[in-house]
Structure 1
Amino acid sequence: MKYNPVKVLYIVAGFLALGLGALGVVLPVLPTTPFLLVASFCFAKGSARFHTWFCSTRLYKNHLDSFVKSRAMTRKTKIRILIPASAMLILAFIFMPSVHGRIAIGVVMCFKYYYFIFRIKTIPVDKLKGTEDLT
Protein backbone atom coordinates (compact mmCIF):
# COMPACT_ATOMS: atom_id res chain seq x y z
CA MET A 1 0.00 0.00 0.00
CA LYS A 2 1.30 3.44 -0.94
CA TYR A 3 2.00 5.96 1.83
CA ASN A 4 0.24 9.27 1.25
CA PRO A 5 1.18 11.95 3.83
CA VAL A 6 -1.76 14.19 2.89
CA LYS A 7 -4.26 11.43 3.68
CA VAL A 8 -2.50 10.78 6.99
CA LEU A 9 -2.82 14.49 7.84
CA TYR A 10 -6.55 14.36 7.04
CA ILE A 11 -6.98 11.33 9.30
CA VAL A 12 -5.05 12.96 12.15
CA ALA A 13 -7.07 16.18 11.73
CA GLY A 14 -10.24 14.08 11.69
CA PHE A 15 -9.41 12.44 15.00
CA LEU A 16 -8.44 15.80 16.51
CA ALA A 17 -11.77 17.31 15.41
CA LEU A 18 -13.60 14.20 16.64
CA GLY A 19 -11.96 14.57 20.06
CA LEU A 20 -12.93 18.25 20.27
CA GLY A 21 -16.46 17.41 19.15
CA ALA A 22 -16.73 14.68 21.78
CA LEU A 23 -15.54 17.17 24.40
CA GLY A 24 -18.20 19.56 23.14
CA VAL A 25 -20.89 17.05 24.09
CA VAL A 26 -19.78 17.34 27.72
CA LEU A 27 -18.56 20.95 27.88
CA PRO A 28 -21.26 23.56 27.20
CA VAL A 29 -18.82 26.21 25.92
CA LEU A 30 -17.38 24.00 23.17
CA PRO A 31 -19.63 23.55 20.13
CA THR A 32 -20.06 19.95 19.04
CA THR A 33 -21.54 20.11 15.55
CA PRO A 34 -18.89 22.20 13.76
CA PHE A 35 -16.09 19.95 15.00
CA LEU A 36 -17.99 16.83 13.97
CA LEU A 37 -18.59 18.32 10.51
CA VAL A 38 -14.85 18.96 10.18
CA ALA A 39 -14.15 15.39 11.37
CA SER A 40 -16.56 14.01 8.78
CA PHE A 41 -14.91 16.05 6.02
CA CYS A 42 -11.40 15.02 7.07
CA PHE A 43 -12.29 11.34 7.33
CA ALA A 44 -13.97 11.46 3.89
CA LYS A 45 -10.79 12.96 2.39
CA GLY A 46 -8.42 10.73 4.34
CA SER A 47 -9.91 7.24 4.32
CA ALA A 48 -13.15 5.62 3.19
CA ARG A 49 -12.80 3.11 6.01
CA PHE A 50 -12.57 5.80 8.73
CA HIS A 51 -15.40 7.78 7.15
CA THR A 52 -17.66 4.73 7.12
CA TRP A 53 -16.75 3.99 10.74
CA PHE A 54 -17.40 7.60 11.79
CA CYS A 55 -20.79 7.69 10.04
CA SER A 56 -21.84 4.57 11.97
CA THR A 57 -21.03 6.02 15.42
CA ARG A 58 -23.76 7.16 17.78
CA LEU A 59 -22.06 10.55 18.07
CA TYR A 60 -22.49 11.12 14.33
CA LYS A 61 -26.06 9.84 14.29
CA ASN A 62 -27.11 12.00 17.25
CA HIS A 63 -25.53 15.25 16.09
CA LEU A 64 -24.99 15.23 12.31
CA ASP A 65 -27.14 12.63 10.58
CA SER A 66 -30.28 14.77 10.21
CA PHE A 67 -28.26 17.79 9.13
CA VAL A 68 -26.27 15.89 6.51
CA LYS A 69 -29.32 14.10 5.08
CA SER A 70 -31.81 16.97 4.99
CA ARG A 71 -29.96 20.19 5.95
CA ALA A 72 -32.26 20.35 8.96
CA MET A 73 -31.89 20.34 12.75
CA THR A 74 -34.20 20.07 15.70
CA ARG A 75 -34.89 23.23 17.68
CA LYS A 76 -33.01 21.72 20.63
CA THR A 77 -29.91 21.12 18.50
CA LYS A 78 -30.01 24.67 17.15
CA ILE A 79 -30.25 26.09 20.67
CA ARG A 80 -27.42 23.84 21.89
CA ILE A 81 -25.21 25.29 19.15
CA LEU A 82 -26.33 28.92 19.36
CA ILE A 83 -26.09 29.47 23.13
CA PRO A 84 -22.40 28.62 23.63
CA ALA A 85 -21.41 30.34 20.38
CA SER A 86 -23.36 33.45 21.39
CA ALA A 87 -21.82 33.43 24.86
CA MET A 88 -18.32 33.38 23.37
CA LEU A 89 -19.13 36.15 20.89
CA ILE A 90 -20.70 38.30 23.63
CA LEU A 91 -17.57 37.88 25.77
CA ALA A 92 -15.41 38.81 22.80
CA PHE A 93 -17.65 41.83 22.16
CA ILE A 94 -17.35 42.99 25.79
CA PHE A 95 -13.57 42.69 25.89
CA MET A 96 -12.94 44.06 22.39
CA PRO A 97 -11.34 47.52 22.72
CA SER A 98 -11.76 48.42 19.04
CA VAL A 99 -15.04 49.78 17.66
CA HIS A 100 -14.30 48.11 14.33
CA GLY A 101 -13.82 44.78 16.10
CA ARG A 102 -17.15 45.17 17.90
CA ILE A 103 -18.88 45.93 14.62
CA ALA A 104 -17.33 42.81 13.06
CA ILE A 105 -18.48 40.66 15.99
CA GLY A 106 -21.98 42.16 15.75
CA VAL A 107 -22.11 41.34 12.03
CA VAL A 108 -20.98 37.75 12.71
CA MET A 109 -23.68 37.36 15.39
CA CYS A 110 -26.39 38.71 13.09
CA PHE A 111 -25.29 36.43 10.25
CA LYS A 112 -25.15 33.43 12.59
CA TYR A 113 -28.74 33.96 13.76
CA TYR A 114 -29.96 34.68 10.23
CA TYR A 115 -28.35 31.47 8.96
CA PHE A 116 -29.71 29.27 11.75
CA ILE A 117 -33.21 30.73 11.65
CA PHE A 118 -33.77 31.14 7.92
CA ARG A 119 -31.33 28.84 6.11
CA ILE A 120 -31.39 25.67 8.24
CA LYS A 121 -34.79 24.03 8.43
CA THR A 122 -36.20 23.16 11.84
CA ILE A 123 -37.65 19.67 12.09
CA PRO A 124 -39.73 18.27 14.95
CA VAL A 125 -38.10 15.71 17.22
CA ASP A 126 -40.72 13.05 16.42
CA LYS A 127 -39.93 13.31 12.69
CA LEU A 128 -36.24 12.88 13.49
CA LYS A 129 -36.98 9.78 15.55
CA GLY A 130 -38.99 8.35 12.67
CA THR A 131 -36.09 8.76 10.24
CA GLU A 132 -33.65 7.15 12.67
CA ASP A 133 -35.80 4.03 12.87
CA LEU A 134 -35.73 3.62 9.08
CA THR A 135 -31.93 3.66 8.85
Structure 2
Amino acid sequence: MRHVYLALGILSVAIGFVGIFLPLLPTVPFMLLAAFFFARSNPAWERRLIEHPQFGPHILAWRERGAISMRGKAFGLLGLTGSAIMGFVFLHDHWRYIPLGVAVICGTWIATRPTK
Protein backbone atom coordinates (compact mmCIF):
# COMPACT_ATOMS: atom_id res chain seq x y z
CA MET A 1 0.00 0.00 0.00
CA ARG A 2 2.98 2.25 0.63
CA HIS A 3 3.80 2.31 -3.08
CA VAL A 4 0.25 3.30 -3.96
CA TYR A 5 0.40 6.23 -1.52
CA LEU A 6 3.76 7.25 -2.92
CA ALA A 7 2.44 7.18 -6.49
CA LEU A 8 -0.64 9.18 -5.49
CA GLY A 9 1.57 11.70 -3.69
CA ILE A 10 3.76 12.16 -6.77
CA LEU A 11 0.67 12.51 -8.96
CA SER A 12 -0.76 15.12 -6.57
CA VAL A 13 2.46 17.15 -6.67
CA ALA A 14 2.48 16.94 -10.48
CA ILE A 15 -1.11 18.16 -10.75
CA GLY A 16 -0.41 20.89 -8.20
CA PHE A 17 2.64 21.96 -10.21
CA VAL A 18 0.51 22.27 -13.35
CA GLY A 19 -1.91 24.36 -11.27
CA ILE A 20 0.82 26.96 -10.79
CA PHE A 21 0.55 27.80 -14.48
CA LEU A 22 -3.16 27.17 -15.13
CA PRO A 23 -5.34 29.79 -13.46
CA LEU A 24 -8.40 27.58 -12.89
CA LEU A 25 -6.53 24.61 -11.41
CA PRO A 26 -5.80 25.07 -7.70
CA THR A 27 -2.33 24.27 -6.39
CA VAL A 28 -2.60 24.17 -2.59
CA PRO A 29 -5.33 21.50 -2.34
CA PHE A 30 -3.16 19.13 -4.36
CA MET A 31 -0.17 19.89 -2.14
CA LEU A 32 -2.35 19.15 0.90
CA LEU A 33 -3.27 15.86 -0.70
CA ALA A 34 0.38 15.13 -1.51
CA ALA A 35 1.38 15.80 2.11
CA PHE A 36 -1.34 13.37 3.23
CA PHE A 37 -0.06 10.65 0.91
CA PHE A 38 3.62 11.29 1.67
CA ALA A 39 2.91 11.07 5.42
CA ARG A 40 1.92 7.47 4.77
CA SER A 41 4.64 6.60 2.28
CA ASN A 42 7.70 8.86 2.46
CA PRO A 43 8.08 11.05 5.58
CA ALA A 44 11.14 12.80 4.10
CA TRP A 45 9.08 14.10 1.17
CA GLU A 46 6.30 15.11 3.53
CA ARG A 47 8.83 17.09 5.57
CA ARG A 48 10.06 18.81 2.39
CA LEU A 49 6.51 19.92 1.59
CA ILE A 50 5.90 21.13 5.14
CA GLU A 51 9.18 23.07 5.14
CA HIS A 52 8.50 24.60 1.71
CA PRO A 53 8.17 28.40 2.08
CA GLN A 54 5.07 28.63 -0.15
CA PHE A 55 3.14 25.47 0.65
CA GLY A 56 4.28 24.66 4.19
CA PRO A 57 2.29 27.35 6.01
CA HIS A 58 -0.91 26.38 4.17
CA ILE A 59 -0.42 22.70 4.95
CA LEU A 60 0.26 23.36 8.63
CA ALA A 61 -2.70 25.77 8.95
CA TRP A 62 -5.00 23.17 7.42
CA ARG A 63 -3.70 20.35 9.60
CA GLU A 64 -3.80 22.34 12.83
CA ARG A 65 -7.04 24.30 12.47
CA GLY A 66 -8.66 23.42 9.14
CA ALA A 67 -7.89 27.01 8.15
CA ILE A 68 -7.83 28.54 4.67
CA SER A 69 -6.07 31.82 3.89
CA MET A 70 -8.22 34.85 3.11
CA ARG A 71 -6.71 34.97 -0.38
CA GLY A 72 -7.51 31.29 -0.93
CA LYS A 73 -11.09 31.84 0.21
CA ALA A 74 -11.48 34.84 -2.08
CA PHE A 75 -10.16 33.02 -5.15
CA GLY A 76 -12.21 29.91 -4.37
CA LEU A 77 -15.42 31.87 -3.96
CA LEU A 78 -14.67 33.93 -7.06
CA GLY A 79 -14.11 30.76 -9.10
CA LEU A 80 -17.32 29.20 -7.82
CA THR A 81 -19.26 32.36 -8.61
CA GLY A 82 -17.85 32.45 -12.14
CA SER A 83 -18.70 28.80 -12.69
CA ALA A 84 -22.25 29.30 -11.46
CA ILE A 85 -22.75 32.31 -13.74
CA MET A 86 -21.33 30.46 -16.76
CA GLY A 87 -23.55 27.46 -16.02
CA PHE A 88 -26.60 29.68 -15.71
CA VAL A 89 -25.83 31.40 -19.03
CA PHE A 90 -24.78 28.40 -21.13
CA LEU A 91 -26.88 25.53 -19.77
CA HIS A 92 -30.56 25.05 -20.50
CA ASP A 93 -33.64 24.18 -18.49
CA HIS A 94 -33.11 22.69 -15.05
CA TRP A 95 -29.42 21.88 -15.78
CA ARG A 96 -28.48 25.52 -15.23
CA TYR A 97 -29.24 25.22 -11.52
CA ILE A 98 -26.74 22.42 -10.86
CA PRO A 99 -23.60 24.63 -10.95
CA LEU A 100 -25.42 27.16 -8.81
CA GLY A 101 -26.28 24.51 -6.22
CA VAL A 102 -22.72 23.19 -6.17
CA ALA A 103 -21.37 26.73 -5.81
CA VAL A 104 -23.70 27.48 -2.90
CA ILE A 105 -22.84 24.25 -1.07
CA CYS A 106 -19.07 24.44 -1.67
CA GLY A 107 -18.94 28.21 -1.18
CA THR A 108 -20.70 27.91 2.17
CA TRP A 109 -18.23 25.26 3.26
CA ILE A 110 -15.24 27.40 2.19
CA ALA A 111 -16.65 30.53 3.83
CA THR A 112 -17.21 28.77 7.15
CA ARG A 113 -13.64 27.45 7.46
CA PRO A 114 -11.39 29.34 9.88
CA THR A 115 -9.17 31.98 8.30
CA LYS A 116 -5.42 31.50 8.43
Structure 2 gaps of 5+ residues are: none
| Alpha-carbon separation, structure 2, partners of 1:65 and 1:42 | 15
For residue 29 of structure 1, give the secondary structure of its aligned residue in structure 2: coil
Asked if 1:105 is matched to 2:102, the reply is no
Q: TM-score, normalised by structure 2?
A: 0.76
1:1-135 to 2 correspondence within 5 Å? 6-92=1-87, 94-97=89-92, 99=94, 101-118=95-112, 120-123=113-116
Moved more, 12-21 or 57-66: 57-66
For residues 35-59 of structure 1, give each alpha carbon's deviation from its aligned partner in whole angstroms, at most 9, with x where no partner exists. Answer: 1221112112222222222222223
State the TM-score, normalized to the length of structure 1. Answer: 0.68
How many residues align? The count is 116
Separation in 2, partners of 1:7, 1:92: 40
**Structure 1 Cα separation of the partners of residues 29 and 70 of structure 2:** 16
- The structure with more radius of gyration: 1
The runs of 5 or more residues in structure 1 that have no matched partner are: 1-5, 124-135
Cα RMSD (Å): 2.4
Check conservation: 2:28, 2:55, Cα contact below 8 A.
Answer: no
